[in-house]
Amino acid sequence: MDKTIDAIINNYNRDKNRLMDILIDTQDTLGCVPDSAAEQIADALDISKVDLEQTLSFYHFFSKEQRGKYTVYLNNSAVANMYGRKEVARIFEEEAGCKFGEVTKDGLIGLFDTSCIGMNDQEPAALINGVVFTMLTPYRVRELVKGMRKGLKVEELLRTGYGDGNNSSPLIRSAVNNHIMEKGPVLSEDYVPGDAIKKIIKLDPAEVIEEVKNSNIRGRGGAGFPTGLKWDFCRRAKDKRRFVFCNADEGEPGTFKDRVILTERPRLLFEGMAVAAYAIGAAEGILYLRYEYKYLKKFLENILDEMRSKNLLGKNIASKKGFDFDIRIQLGAGAYVCGEESALIESAEGKRGEPRDRPPFPVEKGYLGHPTVVNNVETLCSVVKVMLYGGEWYRSFGTDESTGTKLLCVSGDCHYPGVYELEWGFSVADILEMVGAENVQAVQVGGPSGTCIGPDGFERILGYEDLATGGSLIIIGPHRDVLRDIVLNFMDFFIEESCGSCTPCRTLPVAIREKLIKIIEGRGVMQDLMDIERWRFIMKVNRCGLGHTALNPVLSTLKNLRHLYLDLIQKEVEYDTGFRLDEAVKEGKLVTNRT
């Protein structure tokens, strides 16, 4: 028995619901979770080893084998590729002497791909042993690998200096930049922690919910469910042990606003969680933080301590008898689907991040079976301002259907990428002007799961009534090959990130990707386009939002940028399987020396 592992298990009270934490700590200690440790943990938690393995093998950042003394996770989002990722990756392979997906023979360097790490405004970016490296160039990569060969600490490799704002604080010390380009109610400096709490404790919880309803605020993660209504449902649940979750699993490629809020307005967020807790009657809160943002954990924990010392968290908050609420941070381990609220809860319980069947909804049966409200980072921050200035004030921003402001994450082909807090209702054209983007070919609104629009759609407005977005806006310049550089990348993303539970979501995107490649290679026919448009309905029976939207990259370009497909398909041919005899027998010909 390994005593270090046993100490880790004891740290979490030998509780199988804390399996994620146990695996993360084990991997931090040993570099991976080897079979021996897996057995020891499974035995200690009295679960079978396959139950542990189903969690372990689900998450991208867990590994049973060593992934190198220096483990490089290079972001492979579409925007990273726009900014030269391909060359950066090539130099990494050349200098390290191994391919992506491998570890060097001496075990020094491991190279791996990873889905969007929330740095789209400073790509190409990589996580090396959890430390973020941004704006990588071939030159920088050569320096990095040289430093690794010298055995430098990862922090010593970071020679670019620290980023703006709190990124340079002693507890973060990261090269990440906030790039805040426009401030509104959420990002405003005009905020004193605790003011909202002092105000709400004079109100009845039902009055707090009324005010939130009055603001008409809807969930900022992308789905747009009315926040007040969600709280109301939870408050009505019979079970008195309730939970507030903050969803900081910001995984939609091109989204990075939660990272900026967590860095610059963490007190606002935690106060928002306290407001939600007061409203629904919860004493326990969990911030589910994506693994990519682990570098913020110490800093956030320090803020939690500070708020506890100021009686803004803990027992009898702000001297209000019976208002007890505290927050712990739960790390994820790399899975986009955990951004779905029920998958997030499953993950926090130490399981695979597979979305649950509904009903029951999390507000009735959530974390550990108790009523749970899951809100996005930005939603919780906005709610604090709603409580301070009133729902009516909040409604004065935005449109009738989409009230308030939205933090937009602008990246891609423009002069000023970054975070813009704007009222809902701006047109895409307005925003393109604001961020300095010319001759734009297309804009991807809401990330891969959202909509891709061409110039004829630029007068459309951002809002739940037209173009909904969780924040991601990717600008695609005139010189890009949209199908190859963007759409194919997004399809790969969904195939990689499906949990694999529902049959259509597990299989159909793979079939559609094959069709897409066929079209890109000039073998497509009109029938292929018709097939794709017919097959989309099969995805409607998937359980969760990922499954419902996984074909959107193809479907929305087929609808809004149809000429791209029509230009590529064969005009005179009605039927083509895509099969080419010459290519199929190429290897055989080589072996037999025939031409």
Partner 1 sequence: MAQTIKFTIDGVECTAKKGQYIVDAATENHIYIPTLCNIPGVKPRGSCRICSVRVNGRMMTACTTPVSEGMEIENKDPDIEDIRKAIIELMFTEGNHFCPSCEKSGNCELQALAYRYQMLAPRFKFMFPKRRLEATHPKLIKDHNRCILCKRCIRAIKDEEGHSLFAFARRGHNVEIIIDTKYSKNMTDEQAREAADICPVGAILVKERAYTDPIGKRKYDKQPIGSDIENL
Residues in the chain, overall count: 595
Q: Write the burial class of residue 313 (CB in 10 Å: 0-12 exposed, 13-18 middle, 19+ buried).
A: buried
Asked if 48 interacts with partner 1 (CB under 8 A), we say yes
Question: For residue 92, how many other CB atoms are within 10 A of its CB?
Answer: 23
List helix spans (H) across 192-226: 195-200, 205-215
> Which window, 50-58, 225-233, 258-266, 465-473, contacts partner 1 (CB under 8 A)?
50-58
Please, what is the minimum distance in Å from the beta carbon of residue 62 to partner 1? 11
Q: Is 66 in the site for partner 1 (CB under 8 A)?
A: no
Strand partners, 444: 452, 474
Question: CA-to-CA distance for 271 and 277, rounded, in angstroms?
Answer: 10
Least distance in Å: CB of 58 to partner 1? 5
The footprint of partner 1 on residues 448-507 (CB under 8 A) is: 495-504, 506-507
511 lies in the binding site for partner 1 (CB under 8 A): yes
Taking CB under 8 A as the criterion, which residues in 512-531 touch partner 1? 514, 531
Residue nearer to partner 1 on the CB measure, 87 or 576? 576
Nearer to partner 1, 161 or 359 (CB): 359
Contact 346, 337 (CB under 8 A): no
Of 150, 415, 537, 584, the one binding partner 1 by CB under 8 A: 537
Contact string 307-336 vs partner 1 (x = CB under 8 A): ----------------------------x-
Quote the least distance from Cβ 126 to partner 1, whole Å.
23
Question: 436 and 415 in contact (C-beta within 8 Å)?
Answer: yes
Out of 1, 3, 13, 50, point to the residue binding partner 1 (CB under 8 A).
50
Which residue number, 201 or 495, has a Cβ lying nearer to partner 1?
495
**Min separation Cβ 336 and partner 1, Å:** 10
- The interface mask with partner 1, positions 353-372, x = CB under 8 A, is ----x-x-------------
Name the segment binding partner 1 (CB under 8 A); options: 9-17, 101-109, 456-464, 537-545.
537-545
CB 137 within 8 A of CB 84: yes
The residue among 7 and 530 lying less far from partner 1, judged by its C-beta, is 530
Per rule CB under 8 A, count of chain residues that contact partner 1: 38
Strands of the sheet containing 126-128, edge to edge, are: 102-103, 109-114, 70-75, 126-128, 131-133
Q: Which is nearer to partner 1, 39 or 207 (CB)?
A: 39
Q: Are the beta carbons of 280 and 316 closer than 8 angstroms?
A: no
What token pair was written down for 294? 């682990």
Q: How far apart are CA 595 and CA 507, in angstroms?
A: 37
Give the dihedral sign, CA 78/451/122/247. negative
Residue from the set 3, 540, 563, 594 that interacts with partner 1 by CB under 8 A:
540
Q: Which residues pair with 403 in a beta bridge?
A: 398
Q: Can you give the C-alpha Rg of the chain in angstroms?
A: 24
Pairing of strands 102-103, 109-114: antiparallel
Element (H, E) at 300: helix 297-309
Assess contact for 123 and 164: CB atoms under 8 A.
Answer: no
* Cα(248)–Cα(245) distance, integer angstroms: 9
Q: Is 113 in the site for partner 1 (CB under 8 A)?
A: no
**Cβ-based nearer residue to partner 1, 284 or 492:** 492
DSSP secondary structure code for residue 226 in this structure: B
Token duo for residue 284: 């326990």
Q: Is 542 in the site for partner 1 (CB under 8 A)?
A: yes
Query: What is the tally of helices (H) and strands (E) in the chain?
Result: 26, 15
Q: Is 129 or 527 the residue whose CB approaches partner 1 more closely? A: 527
By CB under 8 A, name the one of 368, 510, 566, 585 that touches partner 1. 510
Contact status: 160 vs partner 1 (CB under 8 A): no
Among 6, 53, 93, 533, binds partner 1 (CB under 8 A): 53
349 vs 378 by CB, closer to partner 1: 349
Quick one: which H or E segment has residue 95? helix 85-96
57 lines the binding site for partner 1 (CB under 8 A):
yes
Minimum CB distance to partner 1, residue 334 (Å): 11
Residues in contact with partner 1 by the rule CB under 8 A: 46-51, 53-54, 57-58, 335, 352, 357, 359, 495-504, 506-508, 510-511, 514, 531, 535, 537-538, 540-543
